[in-house]
Amino acid sequence: MTRVVVVGDLMTDAVARARYALARASDTPAIVTMHGGGSGANIASWLAVEGAEVAFIGRRGADITGRNRDMELMGYGVDARLVMDPERPTGTCVVLVTHKGERTMLSDPGANAALSPEDLPRDLFTGGTHLHLSGYTLINEGSRDAGLAALDMARRSGMSISVDCSSSAPLERTGAEPFLEWTNGAKLLFANIDQAKVLTGRDDAEAAAKVLTAWFPQVVIKMNSDGALWYTNGRPEPVRVAAEPVERIVDGTGAGDAFCAGFLPPWLEGKPPAEALAAGCHLAAKAIVYLGARPRL
């Protein structure tokens, strides 16, 4: 299978799952756990566990959590190319999960915000390899130059490129037009419904996908419990696949990342879009029943 190079964010997730409705300005009983996180690192981890050859480029702090995340990635089988930041801590995300399952995230990018073009190992950017770029790298002003450099190096090397929009609120703050300009030339875009709306102004997933094919040859829209769709310009209708049912949702954090990791291998092998979508939905369902964003070893 094609080697995948992931450039993106490395985080530690502090996940607080409330047992009851949040009591504003007071206490709410919760289950609090700590996990490896970061969209880019999650995708690299799932890819490696599923048998793909994958390298991850990122930045961590010179702290215990950074060392733990580094060892965790290597344990999954990821070729972790992490630069140690002597000043900034490893990124942290506080994930607040209500008793109804709605997630709100408070993110401190930490060392991720200092990822620079000089941190990109040139030996990984070669023809016949695929680059997957986490949108957070472009959305975060501090790491934007690194994201743009990775895209440029991939284009010059003849690599195929996919980009994930990552998160709707920071994407909206950044602006649709700049994001679309920066990612021009990518072969595949991943977005969920909210992110697609930010980029196109369309509420309907199919309509948004058709608009986005003006910038990207292929578009995948993740639709949560409604599954996912794939669309390419010139096709009369998108390909849709239903979500895989799960008995119990433990934590949806990182399910979208797992979807990307499930979709990419069959897509890179030239399998039919429906097969790639089904593989993505299967891995997303698997992620939902784990406690946290990363696979269990």
Model confidence pLDDT, tens digit, residues 223-280: 988 999 999 988 889 999 999 887 655 566 788 999 999 999 999 999 999 999 999 9
Contact between 290 and 251 under an 8 Å Cβ cutoff? The reply is yes
- Ranges 17-21, 111-115, 234-238, most confident: 111-115
Please report the sign of the dihedral spanned by the C-alpha atoms of residue 91, residue 287, residue 166, residue 83: positive
From 164, 36, 30, select the one nearest 90 (Cα to Cα): 36
DSSP-derived secondary structure letter, 253: T
pLDDT exceeds 80 at position 295: no
Query: pLDDT grade, residue 288 (50/70/90)?
Result: confident
DSSP, residue by residue, 91-155 = EEEEEEE-TT--EEEEEE-GGGGG--GGGS-GGG--TT-EEEEEHHHHHSGGGHHHHHHHHHHHH
**For residue 154, how many other CB atoms are within 10 A of its CB?**
26
Output the pTM of the full model. 0.93
95-114 as b/e, with b when 16 or more CB fall inside 10 Å? bbbbeeeeeebebebbbbbb
Q: What angle, rounded to 10 degrees, do the helices at 273-288 and 255-268 form?
A: 150
Distance, in Å, from the CA atom of 42 to the CA atom of 290, rounded to the nearest integer, reads: 13
pLDDT exceeds 60 at position 291: no
How large is the average pLDDT for residues 139-149? 97
Model confidence pLDDT, tens digit, residues 36-86: 999 999 999 999 999 999 999 999 999 999 999 999 999 999 999 999 999
Per-residue model confidence (pLDDT) at position 126: 97
Per-residue model confidence (pLDDT) at position 278: 97
**For residue 296, how many other CB atoms are within 10 A of its CB?**
9
Sheet containing 188-192: which strands, arranged edge to edge? 79-85, 54-61, 4-7, 130-134, 160-164, 188-192, 218-222, 228-232, 239-241
Per-residue model confidence (pLDDT) at position 260: 97
pLDDT > 70 in the chain, percent? 96
Contact between 58 and 43 under an 8 Å Cβ cutoff? The reply is no
Read off the tokens for 295: 């696979």
SS3 7: strand
Read off the tokens for 240: 């849709």
From 139, 132, 94, 95, select the one nearest 115 (Cα to Cα): 139
**For residue 269, how many other CB atoms are within 10 A of its CB?**
11
Q: What angle, rounded to 10 degrees, do the helices at 205-212 and 193-200 form?
A: 50
